[in-house]
Structure 1
Amino acid sequence: MTTGTTPDMHLDRLRGWLHACVPTLGVTADTPLTATRAGGGYSNLTFDIGIGANEATRHVILRRGPVGVRADRGAHDMRREFRVLSAVHGSTVPVPVPIALCEDESVIGGMFFLMSKVTGVAVRTLDDAPVLRDPAMMRRMSESCIDALAALHALPVERMPLYDAAKVDGYGARQVANWERRWAAAQTPDVPTTDAALVFAWLSEKLPAPLPPALLHNDWKFDNLLVDAADPWIIRGVLDWEMATIGDPRFDLATSLGYWVQHDDAPMLQALALGVTNAGGCLTRQELVDRYAAQRGVPVDTPVYWYAFGLAKVAVIVLQLYSRYVRGETQDARFAFLGGMAALMMQTARTAIDHDSLEPR
């Protein structure tokens, strides 16, 4: 029996592979399988695989790269993501249990891996965890979020699978140059460039001396954390390790700051809020930096640098989406306002630099 909402999943071949290669799951030639798309990401694809029927159904999660994209390159490298997940599993950072990696692309049309299904919610709105309407609860969750990031950066980096191939020297300079190149490549005629030019020049000139390297998640925000619905300060699992790398840990903090919209930010920035960082009780950006520094026991000097970099990075990501819309590669109406959003984020980064402050002006 083969059912589900993803006819391109080749469940018959998947069943055969599970039976032959993952005996711990107990899949036989007659075991019903279902596959349902999970999550709303735009990069790697996630599926909930149901094994069995009715009350006896068990679930595992399957991750694969986008259809038609090589699964051994960059963020779509399934081997790489599986190795990182395996290295982090069992540490102080909660992650799904890695189960198996399939490098045979003939099974479902691409390399993939399996991991356990974590019970929890990704908080994108207060409706996902209504208890967060209590500011005290919201504060505890935001504290847990940054504490877990600090715990990740404290893991022994030399034991990480990416360490031997890491290009630690010059990491920061490459990051600044990389995101500046991406901004230029995504540029559209209607998005101003003056603020971006000044921001990237300042980031290049003021690059702080590096800290010892750590494992970076590179996309640390609320909707990549599965938390307990009743006690949302309890993180059940950290997801989406596809962009993990080795580098200066403050660049990971910077990405979080770039997404961390406060309740008193400009109204248009409020539209970007991912998760509930602008809810009552949530840590402010300055409190986020201070708590991270205290948890790690390392200074976070020039916090405005990391906020400006985070804003610039997220602005580039937003502009890339808008550029796709302008070129007609997507008709998604939600993308129509993103050019103004990217410009506003660069303007916000420049204002933060000019006033040397993480607070809105």
Structure 2
Amino acid sequence: MGEFDDLTRLDLVGPLLADAVGDDAWRGVEARLIAGGKSNLTFELVSAAGSMVLRRPPSGHILRGAHDMSREARVQKALMGTDVPVARILLAFDESGPLQVPFYVMQKVEGHAIRDTLPPGYAEDGAGRVAIADALVDTLVELHAVDPDAVGLGDFGRRQGFMARQVRTWTRQWEASKTAEVEAVSELARRLAAYLFAEPARPSVVHGDYRLDNVLMHPSDPSCLRAVLDWELSTLGDPLADLGMLLFYWTQPGEPVPILTPALTAEAGFPDRAYLTERYARRSGADLSDLPAYVAYAHFKFAAIAQGIAARTAAGVMAGQDFGDLSLEVERIATEGLSMWRG
């Protein structure tokens, strides 16, 4: 039995995969944990026929509404025929399946998962780094241009009150995971709960966690994005919530280095957040006058996410991954969010 047999049940998944793709080589398959996952667990499945990717929730207690593998599989299937690049879903099961939790297996897309460093020889100059930023923003614009009804996602979420619900949701997640009161988080929650976000002209499919290390870039062309990954938080909602998250993750020179997310974009040659904002506005035609509120929301949301990671790490349900004491990081994120928005 392999190291991750209890989490992947390859004795059952392998034959199902072999039947799905018509290749018995998948009956003899091994799994390895792909580093970097702090919420769901991602495994590379390797056989004589090649590689695929399995996504599943962590083991142990799961907060209500978290780790929704069924949503990930559904949205990727729906977007296959659009201009948004996604990996093809090969297997998808709910909790009645062989893992007794929702999971799916998808095609492995060849490309660079860029986190803390660029691959040798890749986007070495400013033009290549701007090209990465352009591809990231342009793909987000393409996602927000998709008509949810046209791709079968008209019921993927409620169409009104998205931001108010999101603030309530992440407040609940914070309350369920916190181990101590953090005044900056509480104040940010209060301000966001009192703020009246305008309804978008029409709801968009939103990714929910859109950032550089949740996509795969072309192996040799930094202007080409091959696949958008990690759709766990996707729904129908306000597209500016995605833009706010992207800007939150986009670290600039001189800013504190985050513990949980990469700071690669602070390196020379990457454009700043103002560049991303201007390109999104120009390509989408969106009114971004209210954007600071969405950036503040992104800080609040990630403070709650960071606290959830801390709780799962303490419970030992992250397949041996350990991210250390995150209490100061949670406070830093929330404090930064307050300083960027008067509310």
Give the TM-score, by structure 1 length: 0.82
Gaps of 5+ in 2: none
Counterpart in the other structure of 1:174: 165
- What SS class does the counterpart of residue 233 from structure 1 fall into? coil
For 1:145 and 1:196, the matched residues in 2 are separated by 29
For 2:75 and 2:307, the matched residues in 1 are separated by 29
Counterpart in the other structure of 2:11: 12
Q: Deviation per CA, 1:301-326: give whole Å up to 9, x if none.
A: 1221121111121122223334567x
Equivalent AA in structure 2 for residue 120 of structure 1: G
- What SS class does the counterpart of residue 36 from structure 1 fall into? strand
Distance 1:105 1:130, change over 3 A: farther
Q: Select the residue among 161, 164, 167 that pairs with 2:155.
A: 164
Gaps of 5+ in 1: 357-361
Instruction: Report the CA distance between 1:49 and its aligned residue.
Output: 2.1
Instruction: Report the CA distance between 1:259 and its aligned residue.
Output: 1.7
For 1:245 and 1:323, the matched residues in 2 are separated by 25
Q: Select the residue among 201, 209, 215 that pairs with 2:190.
A: 201
- 1:315 maps to 2:312: no
Instruction: Report the CA distance between 1:151 and its aligned residue.
Output: 0.7
Q: Select the residue among 276, 279, 286 that pairs with 1:288.
A: 276
Counterpart in the other structure of 2:324: 335
For 2:124 and 2:67, the matched residues in 1 are separated by 37
Question: Contact conserved, 2:306 with 2:330, CA < 8 A, in 1?
Answer: yes
Q: Select the residue among 37, 40, 63 that pairs with 1:41.
A: 37
Q: Select the residue among 216, 225, 245 that pairs with 1:255.
A: 245
Instruction: Report the CA distance between 1:275 and its aligned residue.
Output: 5.2
Distance 1:67 1:286, change over 3 A: same
Question: Contact conserved, 1:153 with 1:215, CA < 8 A, in 2?
Answer: yes
Distance 1:206 1:344, change over 3 A: same
- What SS class does the counterpart of residue 159 from structure 1 fall into? helix
- What SS class does the counterpart of residue 14 from structure 1 fall into? helix
- 1:61 maps to 2:42: no
Q: Select the residue among 79, 84, 95 that pairs with 1:93.
A: 84
- 1:124 maps to 2:115: yes
For 2:182 and 2:4, the matched residues in 1 are separated by 42
Counterpart in the other structure of 2:199: 210
Q: What percent of counterpart residues are identical?
A: 30
Equivalent AA in structure 1 for residue 16 of structure 2: W
Counterpart in the other structure of 2:130: 139
Instruction: Report the CA distance between 1:132 and its aligned residue.
Output: 3.4
- 1:82 maps to 2:47: no
For 1:79 and 1:318, the matched residues in 2 are separated by 23
Q: How many pairs were matched up?
A: 338
Instruction: Report the CA distance between 1:256 and its aligned residue.
Output: 1.6
Question: Contact conserved, 2:258 with 2:329, CA < 8 A, in 1?
Answer: no
For 2:72 and 2:235, the matched residues in 1 are separated by 10
Q: Rg larger in 1 or in 2?
A: 1
For 2:66 and 2:207, the matched residues in 1 are separated by 12
For 1:14 and 1:103, the matched residues in 2 are separated by 13
Q: CA RMSD in A?
A: 2.9
For 1:12 and 1:188, the matched residues in 2 are separated by 39
Counterpart in the other structure of 2:292: 304
For 2:66 and 2:44, the matched residues in 1 are separated by 20
Distance 1:127 1:290, change over 3 A: closer
Instruction: Report the CA distance between 1:260 and its aligned residue.
Output: 1.9
Question: Contact conserved, 2:215 with 2:225, CA < 8 A, in 1?
Answer: yes
Counterpart in the other structure of 1:359: none
For 1:104 and 1:196, the matched residues in 2 are separated by 34
Question: Contact conserved, 2:204 with 2:236, CA < 8 A, in 1?
Answer: yes
For 1:75 and 1:182, the matched residues in 2 are separated by 9
Distance 1:230 1:339, change over 3 A: same
Higher relative contact order, structure no. (Cα contacts within 8 Å, ≥ 6 residues apart): 2
